[in-house]
Chains A and B, each alone.
Chain A
Amino acid sequence: MNQFSYLFNPITLFGAVCTLAIFSLIFKENRIYRVFEHMFIGLAVGYDVATTWTQVLKPQWWDPMVVDGQWAWIMTVPVGLMFYGIYTKKFAWMSRLLYGIFFGLTATTIFQDFCQGFMPQVVKSYKPLVPPPAVPNDPWASLHAFSFVVNNLLFMIILTCVLIYFFFAFEQKSKFVQITAKTGRLILMGAFGAIFGSTIMTRMALLIDRVYFLLHDWLRWVH
């Protein structure tokens, strides 16, 4: 084994080739990129199908039915095959029947989500405008009290402005409503700017990770 044998570790070598092939797109559209792009889709499909069997169907359907003797699970086969009715004109409506059941099942979890997830948001939007008692020996007690009141007031004003901006049920004729809606729009721009700054962090972090893989895991130029 020579001193450069680490370069030929199958996992890192194949990974490096795949990474460089994908990155070749940034210079020019090329056939190598297309080949590896198709390989990516193929690997993903193969892996997903295998995982569906090994992690879902076998432990939750096959084993209970065949090993544990829970024969009633056989009834899920014709039901599951209803999905494939979509490929025939005669049985296409049966796939809609199955989708309808899933739509209903998922849709009604909204009630609990609304009550337990959303309603606390409404409650917590009513911010106190009376500051809490000052912490003993706090040299900046009055500043903290002032910023508490200002921040909470600002919070409620911003929330109101944004809600008015999104209220499209009636025409916004009143000047006051128009100004408030415009303020809400400007505030939303600030919020989207914060999201945009975070988006850049995510994308750059992904690239940094790939470069780190090439330099550290494969070439070992970085320790």
Chain B
Amino acid sequence: MHSFFAAIPHHGPEYFGKLIIGLLIVLAILGLLHAAPKQSRRAIIAVFTFLGGLFYFLEFFLPVDPKTNKNFLTGQQEFVAQLSAVIGAYAIGLGVVSLGQYHAKIISRKREGWGNSVVLVIAALIMFTFSILNEYHAKTVLFTDPFQHHTQDIHGVFLVLFEGGLAKLDAATFALIAFFIASASYRAFRIRSVESSLLMIAALIVMLASTTIGTALTNWLPTEGPQANFRIEHISEWLLTRLNSPAQRGIVFGLEVGALATSLRLWLSLERGAYFDAEV
């Protein structure tokens, strides 16, 4: 069995023959699964879900060899990781297809903003092309830069698109939120109750302690002794380590127990909801 699946020279009839055999084996299995009665599909999905999860379950719970600290499944982890990465990578097309369908509809029907959709598609194609070329032909010269008076290779154009375009657009989009926070801090943050007062006081203390202007307010207090506890940076640290830490831990307790319960339900196919209850 192991020798059948072993690597062979990547040319010749045996290699291509085995490629075809491999495809046929999988297609046959998938065909058999598809041919199964419709009522059994839910059970088939449940079985495969269970088998998929069984690997890491057994790998963790099975006893290990004290000398090597491994069991028979531990050595297979990198193969499982590689297999997951490869199969998971196929899913990239889902997003591309969805996006392509949506914008193709807008362009073909010339709906409002169709020009933007054209820009999107062109940008995607150009970025894809230059990202691939940058990986394999980075030093190929394309043209002479009139401003810098030197030749521009593919890597240079890629940097303009990535560093000048994608990276800056990403950073600027996230930076926009700062303006809205500033506006909200003036117009929306209102102390209307005890809870909001506590929230605001804690926030103000943490903010003040993070700045030098804030620490300067209590700089006159000694750095040691009981009075040092009233320095703003110590109050902030106390808030974060003595108040925030146990509160966060309480939240983590709930999250972890919930995560365990949800994971068990997912693994054993007990989960319910729109996706899981949809007709198979």
Contact = CB atoms under 8 A, between A and B. Distances in A.
A70 B7 contact: yes
Contact of A79 (B87, B177, B242): B87
A201 B56 contact: no
Contact of B9 (A13, A69, A189): A69
B99 interface: yes
Contacts of B253: 118, 121-122, 163
Nearest to A57: B89
Contacts of B164: 10-15, 18
B116 A108 contact: no
Interface residues of B, number: 139
Given A42-B123, A105-B55, A80 B87 contact: yes
Contacts, number: 406
B35 interface: no
B141 interface: no
A114 B263 CA distance: 11
Interface string B76-107: 00001011111111111111110100000000
B201 interface: yes
Given A69-B8, A107-B53, A210 B172 contact: yes
Nearest to A48: B92
Contacts of B185: 200
Interface stretch (A95-103, A129-137, A171-179): A95-103
A120 to B, nearest CB: 11
A222 interface: no
A151 B243 CA distance: 10
A152 B128 CA distance: 56
B178 A203 contact: yes
Nearest to A7: B147
Contacts of B44: 97
The DSSP consensus for interface residues of chain A is helix
A221 interface: no
B53 A40 contact: no
Contacts of A188: 247
A104 B46 CA distance: 9
B18 A10 contact: no
A151 B246 CA distance: 11
Contacts of B127: 42-43, 45-47, 50
A66 to B, nearest CB: 6
A156 B205 CA distance: 23
A42 B120 contact: yes
A186 interface: yes
Given A46-B124, A97-B33, A192-B199, A187 B168 contact: no
A86 interface: yes
Given A69-B9, A97-B44, A191 B173 contact: no
Given A11-B159, A14-B164, A209-B175, A104 B52 contact: yes
A94 interface: yes
Interface centre among B10, B18, B201, B280 (most CB of A within 10 A): B10
A161 B240 CA distance: 17
Contacts of A35: 115-116, 119
Interface string A16-53: 10110011011000000011111111111111111111
A185 B263 contact: no
Given A75-B26, A86-B94, A112-B56, A67 B10 contact: yes
24 contacts: A10-B156, A14-B165, A38-B119, A41-B99, A43-B162, A43-B169, A45-B124, A46-B127, A46-B129, A48-B95, A51-B131, A72-B5, A78-B27, A80-B90, A102-B52, A105-B53, A108-B60, A111-B56, A114-B256, A125-B249, A162-B250, A193-B202, A197-B203, A213-B171
Given A38-B119, A189-B202, 5 more contacts: A45-B128, A74-B23, A83-B94, A121-B252, A194-B206
Q: Which 6 A-B pairs have the closest CB atoms?
A: A193-B202, A42-B123, A46-B127, A80-B90, A162-B250, A104-B53
